[in-house]
Amino acid sequence: MPLEEVIIRHALGGSPGLVTSGRAAAKASGVMMIPIPKGGIYEAVDGQDCAAAIPGVDDVIITAKQGQKLVPLPEGSSYLGFIFARGDSPDEVERALRRSHAELRFRIATALETFNP
């Protein structure tokens, strides 16, 4: 299992030592930390099944929770989730990650700030 996946699974409370992917070893692997495109309140994501079906993509994990306030980087310190991919070359993996990410459509509502005069 690639180091990136071990780290992310551990951070999500999983047991990386017991996880097996069932895939033959690839020459390259990568993970995309899905950035927050704009601040607001997370509602949902569309296209996750299509994103996971991209050749080379092992998994698409959305860690954002419905109703969660999102703050994009650099002020924020979290991501919407993670995309894992493997392939024969780093370029192939990068293309798979980018194609997968392009399938995702996040619904983020505008956060209303309270006014305290």
Q: What is the DSSP string of 63-91?
A: ---TT-EE--TTT----SEEEEEEESSHH
In the chain, domain spans: 3-13+28-109
Name the pairing type of β-strands 69-70 and 105-109.
unpaired
CATH topology of domain 3-13+28-109: D-amino Acid Aminotransferase; Chain A, domain 1 (3.30.470)
The whole-chain average pLDDT of the chain stands at: 85
Stated pTM of the model: 0.74
Rounded to an integer, the average pLDDT of 14-19 is: 57
pLDDT for residue 2: 64
Rounded to an integer, the average pLDDT of 44-65 is: 96
What three-state secondary structure class fits 100?
helix
The rounded percent of the chain whose pLDDT value lies above 70 is: 79
pLDDT band at residue 75 using 50, 70 and 90 as cut-offs: confident
